[in-house]
């Protein structure tokens, strides 16, 4: 499927310490000509646009040969910018695969921010399994704490994406920064299991196959 990539803003006003996108000079751009029915928004912080609601509605009203357009915000949305009104507009205007992040610690406050985000999105109409929560690994939040975050999201049926921290984002290789190599690998595997369990309603046939193999070889 062919997809058009557009950019309606650049940088992010929030400047998280681990992120290369955060810039103080947040720039906004007008909507370019839409040429395809599937469009990727390559913004770092799309919802931080001053008139985000209006832009979502303008994008949703566009048609190509009378056919609707589907949108995807590749870098995800910032929970701080999400309201029920915005969530409703995203759903109504066909923004697919909504992603958000739980980068901070495992605290009640942080968990409730994530739960609020899920509540807004599901109330708007999104299926939980179509959402995705980024979890930052290999950073200051430890592996045990990240495992608790994973557990909370499992209870809520939300798939995850393991974002491994890198000092140099241009280097494709991940180096152990705040976690060991073993911790990085373990968490990667647990995130995969997490998503399999959610996708298959609690049963991962791959794990069952491995267990059977173990039983037969020991
Ligand atoms: S992690 Fe997200 S909110 Fe933080 S600076 Fe990067 S783009 Fe902005």
Ligand 1 center from residue 150 Cα (angstroms): 20
Listed by start position, the domains of the chain span 1-97, 100-218
Q: Count H helices, E strands: the chain?
A: 6, 11
Write down the pTM of the prediction: 0.92
Kindly list the distances between the CA atom of residue 17 and the CA atoms of 2, 22, 144, 174, 191, in Å, as whole numbers in the listed order: 35, 8, 21, 18, 24
Ligand 1 pocket member 45 (CB < 6 A): yes
Under DSSP, is residue 97 helix (H, G, I), strand (E, B) or coil? coil
* pLDDT on residue 112: 97
Entry field: residues in the chain: 218
Per residue of the chain (218 residues), give pLDDT as tens. 899 999 999 989 888 888 877 666 789 999 999 999 999 999 999 999 989 999 999 999 999 999 999 999 999 999 999 999 999 999 999 999 999 999 999 999 999 999 999 999 999 999 999 999 999 999 999 999 999 999 999 999 999 999 999 998 889 999 999 999 999 999 999 999 999 999 999 888 888 898 999 999 98
How far is the C-alpha of 158 from the C-alpha of 150, rounded, in Å? Answer: 9
Ligand 1 nearest atom to the CA of residue 75, by list position: 7
Question: What's the gap between Cα 138 and its chain centre?
Answer: 17
Ligand 1 pocket member 19 (CB < 6 A): yes
Ligand 1 center from residue 75 Cα (angstroms): 9
Residues ≥6 apart with Cβ < 8 Å to 168: none
For ligand 1, atom 4, name the residue with the nearest CA: 16
Ligand 1 center from residue 34 Cα (angstroms): 26
Ligand 1 nearest atom to the CA of residue 45, by list position: 7
Ligand 1 pocket member 48 (CB < 6 A): no
**Beta bridge partner(s), residue 5:** 40
Check the CA dihedral 163-41-77-194 and report its sign.
negative
Ligand 1 nearest atom to the CA of residue 15, by list position: 5
Pick the CATH number of 1-97 from 1.20.1050.10, 3.30.750.210, 3.20.20.140, 3.40.50.150: 3.30.750.210
Residues ≥6 apart with Cβ < 8 Å to 40: 3, 4, 5, 6, 71, 72, 74
Ligand 1 pocket member 14 (CB < 6 A): yes
């Amino acid at each position: 499927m062919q997809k058009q990539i557009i950019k309606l803003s650049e940088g992010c006003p929030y400047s998280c310490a681990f992120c290369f996108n955060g810039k103080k000079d947040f720039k906004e751009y007008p909507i370019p000509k839409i040429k395809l029915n599937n469009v990727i928004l390559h913004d770092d912080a799309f919802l931080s646009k001053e008139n985000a609601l209006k832009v979502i509605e303008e994008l949703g009203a566009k048609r190509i040969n009378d056919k609707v357009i589907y949108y995807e915000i590749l870098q995800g949305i910032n929970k701080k910018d999400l309201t029920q009104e915005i969530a409703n507009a995203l759903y109504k205007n066909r923004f697919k695969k909504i992603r958000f992040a739980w980068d901070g610690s495992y605290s009640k406050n942080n968990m409730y921010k994530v739960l609020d985000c899920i509540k807004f999105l599901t109330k708007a109409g999104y299926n939980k399994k179509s959402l995705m929560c980024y979890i930052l690994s290999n950073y200051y939040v430890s592996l045990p704490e990240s495992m608790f975050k994973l557990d909370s999201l499992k209870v809520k049926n939300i798939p995850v994406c393991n974002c491994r921290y890198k000092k140099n984002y241009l280097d494709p290789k991940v180096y152990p920064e705040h976690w060991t190599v073993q911790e990085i690998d373990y968490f990667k595997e647990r995130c995969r299991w997490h998503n399999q369990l959610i996708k298959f309603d609690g049963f991962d046939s791959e794990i069952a196959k491995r267990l059977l193999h173990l039983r037969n070889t020991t």
